[in-house]
């Protein structure tokens, strides 16, 4: 095989992977029902890996405030994850009850997923891989790391746990 052909094949494979849209990713809600991310085209999406027993758990309150304040142009989606300090040990029912009772959470919560490692959910593969999102690569460092996606499904940026949901770093993008 000629070098030029080999380069074209590799380039085509990379381009095909990049074309994967966030809207094609399948994920279920905390209740097990499918969530269609494509239903939110035209709105920004903020994805957050959440945990009920974390020092950042208080951010649920501001995530709800952000969701309420920008509901016309933003959808907040929390993904429970037990990978950091085993701080989300509960089952779906316990997580839902905790979030509603303690923080009045009404924004979308997904099924419990892995956000890193060999069982990383495809959503977080897309969010953390430049090869898939076309923007930048990252690693999820801890609970309550945030990823902002624009109205057309393009990654805008990510924010570490210390960045509060109502921070101007996020709200200026809305």
Between 15 and 147, name the one with better pLDDT: 147
Task: Tell me: pLDDT of 16 over 90.
Answer: no
DSSP letter string, 57-124: TTHHHHHHHHHHHTTTTEEEEEEE---STT---S-HHHHHHHHHHHH---SEEB---BSSSTTB-HHH
Percent of the chain surpassing pLDDT 70:
89
Rounded mean pLDDT, 145-153: 98
Q: Is 81 a catalytic residue?
A: no
Q: Kindly indicate the confidence band of residue 20, based on its pLDDT and cuts at 50, 70 and 90.
A: confident
Cα–Cα distance between 134 and 25 in angstroms, integer? 16
Task: Tell me: pLDDT of 14 over 80.
Answer: no
Please state the separation of Cα 61 from the chain's center in Å: 18
Task: Tell me: pLDDT of 19 over 70.
Answer: no
Confidence (pTM): 0.89
Q: Kindly indicate the confidence band of residue 5, based on its pLDDT and cuts at 50, 70 and 90.
A: low
Kindly name the residue from 25, 27, 48, 54 that is annotated as catalytic.
Answer: 54
Task: Tell me: pLDDT of 15 over 60.
Answer: no
Other C-beta atoms lying within 10 Å of the C-beta of residue 70: 17
**Cα→Cα distances 164→1, 32, 61, Å:** 53, 29, 10
pLDDT in tens, 65-95: 999 999 999 999 999 999 999 999 999 999 9
Q: 139 in helix, strand or coil?
A: coil
Average pLDDT, the chain: 92
Task: Tell me: pLDDT of 129 over 70.
Answer: yes
Task: Tell me: pLDDT of 153 over 60.
Answer: yes
Cα–Cα distance between 139 and 62 in angstroms, integer? 23
Query: Are β-strands 44-50 and 74-80 bridged in parallel, bridged antiparallel, or unpaired?
Result: parallel
Task: Tell me: pLDDT of 107 over 80.
Answer: yes
Task: Tell me: pLDDT of 10 over 80.
Answer: no
* Domains and their CATH numbers in the chain: 22-171 (3.40.30.10)
């Amino acid at each position: 095989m000629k070098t030029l052909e080999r380069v074209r094949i590799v380039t085509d494979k990379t381009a095909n992977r990049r074309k994967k849209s966030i809207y094609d990713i399948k994920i279920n809600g905390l209740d097990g029902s499918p969530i269609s991310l494509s239903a939110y085209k035209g709105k920004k999406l903020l994805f957050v890996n959440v945990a009920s027993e974390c020092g950042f758990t208080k951010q649920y309150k501001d995530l709800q405030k952000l969701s309420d304040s920008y509901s016309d142009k933003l959808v907040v989606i929390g993904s429970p994850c037990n990978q950091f300090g085993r701080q989300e040990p509960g089952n779906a029912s316990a997580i839902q009850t905790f979030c509603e009772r303690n923080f009045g959470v009404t924004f979308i919560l997904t099924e419990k997923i892995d956000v890193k490692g060999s069982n990383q959910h495809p959503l977080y593969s897309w969010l953390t891989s430049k090869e898939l999102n076309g923007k930048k690569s990252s690693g999820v460092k801890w609970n309550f790391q945030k990823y902002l996606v624009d109205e057309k499904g393009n990654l805008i940026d990510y924010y570490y746990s210390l960045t509060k949901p109502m921070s101007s770093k996020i709200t200026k993008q809305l």
